[in-house]
Each structure stands twice: as structure tokens, then as C-alpha cells.
Amino acid sequence: MTSLSVVPYPMPDAASLPDGGPSWRIDPCRAALVVQHMQEYVLRALRETAPVAELLDNIGRLTETARCFGVPVVYVTRIPGSRPVGGEGPGPVFPAPVPLAPPTETDARAVVDVLRPETGDTVLTAKRYSAFAGTRLRSRLKELGRDQVVVVGAAARTDVLLTAADAWMQDLEPFVVADAMADRTAADHAMAVHWLAATCATVTVTEAVRAELGGRPADTTAV
């Protein structure tokens, strides 16, 4: 039973980001925006404890800016399931049990309306947490001439983290937007932010990314 005192945790801001990590800068001619797991059934599992309204708003502003400056937008979904050890099917939405009504396959693939893909966007379905698992993401990035990935979405400590790590191991430059991803708890979110900054990704915030895509100074105090 959920406590009535439970409220969504606050999104991290620029001042709270950890030091360290690569010092790359986003180049709109090299970057692609990867939006992970933004289906309604996923958001239902996050709404009580995660800042979903800010998540949707920040990802919406990022997709709008990306399209405005010719940066490709790639959506990645994942059909949930209980994969047996060594099996080939997709894993659960979250590593720990979450009370979710099983979605139909159509619902599982459908991105929430406010972030619906547009003509020209790429839509892929991954087999596991990484957006590269069982998809043509790597070859699609090569077709687009992109070697930077800006990763946003859910869940921070699984899909986002492993996609960024996978990108880095494939000699791509990953950027993770700390206030455009979410997880079930603040601790899960913070774990992803700190691990990524300490290992393989540039961790940033929405306004800084929008500024770099538009070639202007960042104003990370914007709401």
C-alpha cells in the first residue's frame, strides 16, 4: 500500500551534477537524440514517485530543439516480459517488481501522445535494456553520419545507463541528460547519474543541451 506522504522526488539540476566524466561538447552535426521507453504504461509505474511531468516537458523541449536544428531523433521501445535465464526475450520493465497491469503489444509499443514520433524520426524496438540490443541503432547512426548520442528517458539505472555505456564501448560519445531521465526512486536516479559521470558519459541538463544544439551560451537556470 502506497503512503499518502509519498511525493515525486525532485529532478537534479546543473548545480547538483557530479564532477568528472569526459569533457565532450555536443555538436549538432554529429549528434542524435535517443529517447528511451516513453510508453504510457511505463510512465504509470513512475508517476507516484518520479517527476514525470518534468521528464515529459524536458524531453519534449529536447525533441523540438533537435528537430529545429536538424538533429535526428531516435525512439527506442522495449516490450516487457519475464525472460528466462539465457533466453532471448525482453526483460522486465524494471529489475524489481512494480505493480503494472500487463500492456497489450500495441500499448507496449505506443509512445505517450505528447512525445509521439514525427515523420523522419526513427523508431526501434530493443530486446534488452540497451537501445543497441537487437536493433539496427548502430547502423542507423552510421547512415546518419552521427557519432554522438544524447540519451534520455526511462529507466535511468537500466535502459539509459546501459545504452550510454554500450555507446561508449562502440567508440561513440554518449551524453546523458540528468533532468530528462527518471527512475522509480531518487536513489536509482542518482546512482545512474554518478556512475555514468564516473565512467563513460558526459552528464548534463536540458538547457545546456538545447544551448549547444542551437549554438548559444547555456542558461541552466531556466525552468
Map grid coordinates 530543439 to a residue.
65
For the record, the C-alpha cell of 135 comes out as: 536493433
Map grid coordinates 509521439 to a residue.
116
Higher pLDDT residue, 131 or 98?
Answer: 131
When the pLDDT of each residue in the chain is averaged and rounded to a whole number, the result is: 87
Q: Please state the domain extents for the chain.
A: 30-83+103-214
With 80 as the cut, is the pLDDT of residue 51 above it? yes
Q: Distance between CA atoms of 1 and 14, rounded to whole angstroms? A: 34
Confirm whether pTM is higher than 0.95. Answer: no
**Fold for the domain defined by 30-83+103-214:** Rossmann fold (3.40.50)
Q: Distance between CA atoms of 217 and 189, rounded to whole angstroms? A: 27
Per residue in 100-128, pLDDT tens?
556 666 666 789 999 999 999 999 999 99
With 90 as the cut, is the pLDDT of residue 92 above it? no
pLDDT of residue 221: 47
